[in-house]
Structure 1
Amino acid sequence: MLNFEDRTGPDLGSDAPEYPNVPVADWYRDAKLGFFIHWGLYSVPAWGTPKGAYKVQVEDAYTYHQYAEWYANTVRILGSPTQRHQAQTYGPGTTYEDLADLWHPDTFDADVLISQLTDAGGKYVVPTTKHHDGFCLWGTKTTPFNVVSRGPGRDLIKEIAEATRKHGARVGLYFSGALDWHVSEFPPIESDTDLFRFRRNDADYSRYAADQLQELVDNFSPDILWNDIDWPDGGKGREPYGLAALLGRYFDGNPDGVINDRWGVPLHGYLTREYSHVPEILEKPWEATRGLGASFGFNQNEGPEHTLTEAELVHLLIDVVSKNGNLLLNVGPRADGTIPEIQQERLRQLGAWMRVNGEAIYGTRPWTRCGEEFTPADRSPVSYTAKGDVLYIHALDPARGQVALPAEAASGPVEWLTAAGPVTSTVANGLTTIPAELRSQVAATARVRL
C-alpha cells in the first residue's frame, strides 16, 4: 500500500505557502480506537470482487478491485466483473449515478449505528462525507449530486455527527479531495500511476473542493479532517481558497483539531497505514486503517472467510497501539444503514474485551519495545503498552499458561485484568502464571509497576 507522507508536491519554490504547525492533539493519541464508516451510493450495488476469487496479476488489480466503494471506477473498466454485474443487475443503459434515485434508507437510525460503535469501544467516528464517486452525504450547496436532493432526501452526515456527539465520541470527517469522478472526464483508473495522473488540478476544481471542505468545517466542526489520496495542485499555493488558508482557518477555529497525512503537501498530521503491517514502533503518531473484511464499503460477495476473527481483531488493536498507533477500524453498512451481522458480532466481541482490558489501551504510550514475539512453547508471546510507571503486558496466547516478564519488571507484583477485578499472580524465576479463567481468552492483560 502507498505511504502518503511521501507526496509533498508540486515544488512551488518561493511561492510555497506556510502551513500551520500544529502537533497531533493528546485527545487523539489517547483515544486509540476509532471507527470508519464507509457508507454511500456504492452501498446500493454493494459489490466488489471478493479477495482471492481470481488469480490476479498486479497490472489487473484495479479491474478486479476488492473495494466495493470503488464501484464507480471499476464498472467503467472494460471486461471487469463489476461491469458485467452492473449490466446484468440494472440493465445496460443504467449509469452509476442513476443509482442515486434507488437509495432510500428510510429506516436508518444514526443513534443505533453509533451506539454499536461506541459500545465496541470507539472514541471517534469518521464517516465518508464524499468518496471518489463525488456523491455528497450532506446538504451541500456546491452540487445537486447529494443526499438531500437525490435518493435519501436527508442530511446523513448531520444525523451521524449529532449521534456521535450524543454518545460522547469525537467527530471526524472523511473527504475525497483529489478524486471526484462526478465532475471529471478521465478514463478509469487502472493502476497506482493512474491514481495520481487522472485527477483534476485546475483552479475551478480546486475552488470546488475547497468550498465543500469549508462547508463541512462550518456545518459540523469536525475534530478530525481525514482527506484521501491528495489535494488538487491548483489549490496548494497562496490562494485564498488554497489548502494552507483553509487549514489555517480550521485550526484557528479548532485548536485541538487533527488532520491526517493524505494532502500531498509538506504538512502531515498523523501518518496513515492502510491494510499494512508496521513492524516496529513509529516515532510519529500514526493510524492503521482497514475494514473488518477485505473491503471498506459493504461487499455482498464477502463471507466469514474474508472477515477478521475475534483473535485477529483484538491482536491487531494491541499490535497497533503497542507501536504508537491508533486503529481506525471500518464498518461498511448496507444501503439501509444497518451493519451486517458478522460485523456486528465482531463489534460485540471487541467491546467485551475492551470493557475488561481498556485501561491497557486508552491513554497509553509505547514502551521501550513493542513486545516479544519469539518465546518457548510454554510461554505466550506478548505485546507491551505503558501508562506512566505502569507497564501492561498483553499475552497473545493465554492458553500457553505462562508469561515471561521483562527484566525491568521481573520483581512484580503482577495483576491480571479480569471482569471480576484484578487477580494477583505470583512471580518465580521471571515467569508469571496466567489465571485459569483467562486462558480461553483471545488475549489477556497483566499490569506491573516499573
Structure 2
Amino acid sequence: MVLSKANILALVLGYPLFTVFWTVVFWTRIAGRYQPTWESLDTRPLPDWYDNAKVGLLIHWGLFSVPSFGSERFWQEWKGGNHKFVHFMMKNYPPNFTYQDFASQFKAEFFDPKEWTEVFEASGARYIILTSKHQEGYGMWPSPYSWNWNCKDVGPNKDLVGELASAVKSYTPQIRFGVYYSLPEWFNPLYELDRKNHSKSNTYVSTKVLPELYSIVRRYQPEIIVSEDDEREPDSYWNSTLFLSWLFNESPVRRTVVVNDRWGSGTFCRHGSYFTCYSAGTLPPHKFERRISLDRHSLGYRREARLGDYLSIYELIASIAETVSCGGNILINIGPSPDGRIPPIMEERLRQVGAWLDVNGEAIYASIPWTHQNDTITRGIWYTKDKDLDRTYAIVLNWPEDCLLFLGAVEPSKETKIFLLGYETPDAKFIRLKFEARLTGITIAFPDMSEVRSKWAWVLVMSGIGPALLL
C-alpha cells in the first residue's frame, strides 16, 4: 500500500502528530510485502539468477542409500508389501530387522564435501539441491525437532547439510545451495493422527514441519527450497502460505530464494517460483524445471544398477538442449552411496556435461527461447537466443551427413554470419562457415568433425538471421 498525498494530508489534519507518525511508519513497513495468500505470493518476480542458471543438480542421499535397492522409496515399498522388496529383506536380513536399524550402517565415512564441490564445479551446474529430509523422515542435519532421528544423533555423527552448505559457499561461491524437504513422512505417528482427523488438526505441522523449515532456512540460508507433498492434504493444513510469506519477507534469503510448486493439494502447476509439471518440447506459459535422473529407475543409489540403467551423455545433452530451448531449467539427479561417494559413472557423466558446457555454454546459460524451439524439418535441432545480443544458437544433436546441414526454420539476410563453437584458429578466432539460402531455410557447410573441439553435440552461432516464414 502506498499513501497518497491526499491521504497523508487527511491524516495530518485529522489526527495528532504522533498518530500520524506511527501510521506512516506502519504502512511504510508493510508496503511491498507479500501477504500469506497465493494471490499475493504469486506476484513475486522470479529472481534472475535462477532463470540464468539453467543447469542444477539434485542429490538424493539419505537412509534409503543404505539398502540401496529398488528405489529411494524403499521403506514404503517394503512395508507396503511389494514382493520385490519383501523378498530382498527376507533374503538378506534377519526377521526382526527394522528400517531404523539401517541408521547405524549409514556412516558416510568417505564423505568429502570439498571433493563433491570440485565435481559440481566440473559439471557446469549453477545450483545444487541436497535432500535434507526425505519421506522416511530421517534428518540430514541435527534438527532439534527430529526426536534424535537424524544424522548427528544416529548414523554418521555429522551435520551433512551443514558441511555441504559450508563447502559450496567456501569453494564454489558461484554455485547456489538449496535443500529438498519432504512435508509428509510416511510413518510419522503425528502425521498419521492428523490424517485420521481429516486434517482438522495439524499437530505434526506445528511441532515438526514448520519449526524445521524455519530452522533450516535460518541456519543454512538455502536459496532454493524444493518441497515435496503427497497431494492429499491442502496447503492450508501445511500452513504453506504463512511460511512462504515469511520466506519472501523476513528470511535471510528473502531476495534470492526460489521455491517449487509442491506445497499441498491444488498447488502443483499453479503456485511457486517455477513449475515442475511441464515436459520440454513446447514453450509453456510459466518458468519450469525438468528433472532427470542419471539412473533411469531410481533417484537414490542402487547397488543392483546395470550400465544400461544410466543415461548416456548424448541423452543428457539432448535433454539439456530440449529443455533450455523451451525456457526451462534442467535438474540432473544423482544418488551418492551410503559411505559418501559419488559413484564413478555418475561423476563421469557430470564431468562430460561440464566439458560440453565449457565449449557450448553460451547457448545455454542466460539464454532465452527463440521464435522456434526446434527445427521442424531437420530433426535434432534446438534453438536458443542471447537475450542482449543478435545471436541465435542452433544446438545440433547429430553431425550432418556429408557435412551439410539444412535448417528449415532460419531465414538468412545480407548481414548473416555463422560460426560453430569449438571451431577456431590456433589464436582462438572463430572461423566463419559458408552457407546458401534456399527458397525457404538455409544450408550450412560444416567443417571436418576432427577440427572441432566439441563432442556429442554442436552449436551454431548465427547473427543477422530471422525466422523462416514457411516451415
Matches within 5 A, 1:345-360: 345-360=348-363
**Other-structure match for 1:11:** none
CA–CA separation in structure 1 for the residues paired with 2:200 and 2:220: 27
Aligned partners of 1:120 and 1:347 also within 8 Å:
yes
CA–CA separation in structure 1 for the residues paired with 2:354 and 2:313: 11
* More displaced 10-residue stretch of structure 1: 414-423 or 172-181: 414-423
Q: How many residue pairs end up in the alignment?
A: 400
Work out whether 1:74 is the aligned partner of 2:74. Answer: no
**Other-structure match for 2:101:** 98
Matches within 5 A, 1:325-336: 325-336=328-339
Matches within 5 A, 1:21-420: 21-48=43-70, 68-143=71-146, 144-166=148-170, 167-168=172-173, 169-183=175-189, 202-207=201-206, 208-229=208-229, 233=233, 236=236, 242-252=239-249, 253=251, 254-264=254-264, 265=267, 267-273=271-277, 277-294=279-296, 295-375=298-378, 381-387=380-386, 388=388, 389-400=390-401, 401-405=403-407, 406-409=409-412, 411=414, 412-418=416-422
CA–CA separation in structure 2 for the residues paired with 1:201 and 1:232: 13
Displacement of 1:337: 1.4
* More displaced 10-residue stretch of structure 1: 246-255 or 436-445: 436-445
* More displaced 10-residue stretch of structure 1: 410-419 or 33-42: 410-419
Change (3 A) 1:374 1:337: farther
* Secondary structure at 1:126 match in 2: strand
Work out whether 1:423 is the aligned partner of 2:415. Answer: no
Q: Deviations over 1:171-228 (max 9, x none)?
A: 11100013343446869xxxxxxxx999977311111211111111111111111101
Change (3 A) 1:319 1:179: same
Change (3 A) 1:17 1:348: closer
Change (3 A) 1:82 1:371: same
Q: Identity across aligned pairs (percent)?
A: 28
Aligned partners of 2:109 and 2:156 also within 8 Å:
yes
Aligned partners of 1:137 and 1:146 also within 8 Å:
yes
Aligned partners of 1:202 and 1:234 also within 8 Å:
no
CA–CA separation in structure 2 for the residues paired with 1:235 and 1:311: 39
* Secondary structure at 1:163 match in 2: helix
Q: Deviations over 1:155-174 (max 9, x none)?
A: 00001111222212001110
Displacement of 1:282: 1.3
CA–CA separation in structure 2 for the residues paired with 1:235 and 1:272: 17
Give TM-score, length-normalised by structure 1.
Answer: 0.83
**Other-structure match for 1:7:** none
* More displaced 10-residue stretch of structure 1: 145-154 or 433-442: 433-442
CA–CA separation in structure 2 for the residues paired with 1:34 and 1:234: 29
CA–CA separation in structure 2 for the residues paired with 1:142 and 1:339: 29
CA–CA separation in structure 1 for the residues paired with 2:258 and 2:69: 32
Displacement of 1:445: 0.3
Aligned partners of 1:413 and 1:427 also within 8 Å:
no
Q: Deviations over 1:60-103 (max 9, x none)?
A: xxxxxxxx110010111225211211222221211111111111
Give TM-score, length-normalised by structure 2.
Answer: 0.79
Amino acid at match of 1:23: P
Work out whether 1:445 is the aligned partner of 2:471. Answer: no
CA–CA separation in structure 2 for the residues paired with 1:353 and 1:410: 30
CA–CA separation in structure 2 for the residues paired with 1:78 and 1:424: 63
CA–CA separation in structure 2 for the residues paired with 1:162 and 1:384: 37
Aligned partners of 1:360 and 1:445 also within 8 Å:
yes
* Secondary structure at 1:367 match in 2: coil
Change (3 A) 1:242 1:108: same
* More displaced 10-residue stretch of structure 1: 15-24 or 118-127: 15-24
* More displaced 10-residue stretch of structure 1: 293-302 or 322-331: 293-302
Change (3 A) 1:441 1:156: same
Aligned partners of 2:117 and 2:168 also within 8 Å:
yes
Amino acid at match of 1:244: T
Q: Specify which structure has the bigger relative contact order, considering alpha-carbon pairs within 8 angstroms and separated by 6 or more residues.
A: 1
Q: Deviations over 1:262-305 (max 9, x none)?
A: 112463220114xx843311121100002101211011121121
Change (3 A) 1:89 1:271: same
CA–CA separation in structure 1 for the residues paired with 2:196 and 2:374: 41
Displacement of 1:408: 3.7
Q: Which structure has the larger Rg over C-alpha atoms? A: 2
CA–CA separation in structure 2 for the residues paired with 1:198 and 1:124: 39
* More displaced 10-residue stretch of structure 1: 76-85 or 196-205: 196-205
